[in-house]
Amino acid sequence: MRSVSLSDVVCTIQGKNAVNGISLNIKPGEIICFLGPSGCGKTTSLRLIGGIVTPNNGEISIDDEIVSSASFQVPPEDRHIGFLFQDFALFPHLSVMQNVLFGLNIQKHEDADARAGRMLALTGVSHLAERYPDTLSGGEQQRVALARAIAPAPGLVLMDEPFSNLDPPLRADMRRLTVSLLRGEHSDISPATGIIVTHDAVDAMYMADKIAVMSGGQIVQFDKPDQIYENPASPLVVKLLGASNEWAGAVNNGVFSTPIGDFQLDNSVASARLMIRPYHLKPGGGENSFTARLSSLRNHGNTQALDVLLSDGTIWEVVGNDFIENGLQIGDEVKFQINPEDVMLFTD
Ligand SMILES: Nc1ncnc2c1ncn2[C@@H]1O[C@H](COP(=O)(O)OP(=O)(O)OP(=O)(O)O)[C@@H](O)[C@H]1O
């Protein structure tokens, strides 16, 4: 298991800072997910760590040895990293077995055949050993790519959207498998530090010890998933982690008056934004409640969703599972309860 550290790393591509001064310390054995909207610099950060692109400024170290700076670059093949990148697709002219053997043979691994066989078994593709990549489904190819990345026991594995082409049940399987392999939960497979790029919050929440949320080439929050979920640093982080309702407006003399009630803020604040998750709004009266009119009701099977009109015409979503059973109907005026702890307030 290897440590990775980035210090004030900048990477300019075609005159634009794709990565704009990121610093990060990743401990041996940690699984880190880079999460962020499209174009925020996740893939470039991973490519910098892999040595595929060179920083214009700053330093990258692996196990306390500098591997990248503006003037010095250890080539990717000398970093002994496992890659699972779209650009490093399976070799089309090699069978599945030969693909997994590739890295093992470079390392002159003693029991390469046995180890490749074991990796194929663990990733559930032993029966495809003699097949060629173009005869495999997307999901099968991703399993083989995972086996190939981890087979040489690299101690550090970089993955760029490793489950991008998988449907939800297969994605959940692959998440579990990836974490168990990185954690070394299988005998004779050494644990590894994992750095994974994803734009899927569920992937990140499930797999990561820590999530690095990126925006505009910078890391805007780096913390444990539950911390990020409970204390998001900005509206962007709230949105990345799941659906949310919001309302923004002026603050007058420290009072933020919203359709769901008044909130006391600092006197110096001029404007604010309130956010709340759809499933945190529950029908019911009482102290912290507000009234809204139901404008639509959708049944998604295991959940039901309401669109509700606030007093100023703003539409919010409410998610639950018993609205229909409780007789709610479009046009009804309904009271909704809020727990003040679920309200996220951001000042501009
Ligand atoms: N080869 C390139 N040529 C020009 N611009 C590039 C290149 N690679 C990246 N960029 C730009 O750098 C920025 C960061 O790109 P990057 O691929 O790192 O983002 P990302 O967060 O991984 O996005 P996505 O989730 O869409 O893959 C983007 O604005 C992108 O357009």
Q: Is 88 inside a domain boundary?
A: yes
> Over the stretch 197-248, which tens digit does the pLDDT of each residue have?
998 999 999 999 999 999 999 999 999 999 999 899 999 999 999 899 999 9
- Same domain? For 205 and 88 the reply is yes
Q: What's the confidence (pLDDT) of residue 87? A: 63
CATH number at residue 308: 2.40.50.140
What is the ipTM for the molecules in this complex? Answer: 0.95
Q: Do 158 and 81 touch, CB atoms closer than 8 A?
A: yes
**222 with 212: CB under 8 angstroms?**
yes
Query: For ligand 1, is residue 18 a contact (CB within 6 Å)?
Result: yes
Protein residue whose Cα sits closest to atom 2 of ligand 1? 13
Domain harbouring 58, CATH code = 3.40.50.300
Domain boundary among 208, 232, 256: 232
What average pLDDT does range 312-338 have in this prediction?
92
Whole-model pTM above 0.90? no
Same domain for 306 and 176, yes or no, is no
For residue 237, is it within any domain? no
Q: Could you tell me which residues are beta bridge partners of residue 158?
A: 83, 195
Residues 284 and 219 in one domain: no
Cα separation, 32 vs 4, whole angstroms: 11
Question: Does a structural domain hold residue 238?
Answer: no
Nearest-atom number in ligand 1 for the CA of 217 is 14
Name every residue whose Cβ is closer than 8 Å to that of residue 196 and which is 6 or more positions away in sequence: 31, 32, 33, 34, 158, 159, 162, 178, 203, 204, 207, 208
What is the average per-residue pLDDT within 15-37? 95
Q: Is 253 part of a structural domain of the chain?
A: yes
Site to substitute for ligand 1 among 19, 34, 43, most atoms within 8 A of C-beta: 43
Q: How many domains does the chain have?
A: 2
For residue 279, the enclosing domain spans: 243-347
Task: Report the C-alpha gap between 321 and 324 in whole angstroms.
Answer: 8
In a domain, 337, yes or no: yes
Instruction: Please state the φ and ψ torsions of residue 234, each to the nearest 5 degrees.
Output: -160, 165
Q: Is the CB of 14 under 6 A from ligand 1?
A: yes
Residue 50 has pLDDT above 70, yes or no: yes
Q: What percent of the chain has pLDDT over 90?
A: 70
Q: What atom of ligand 1 comes closest to residue 14's alpha carbon?
A: 4
In terms of domains, do 228 and 310 share one? no
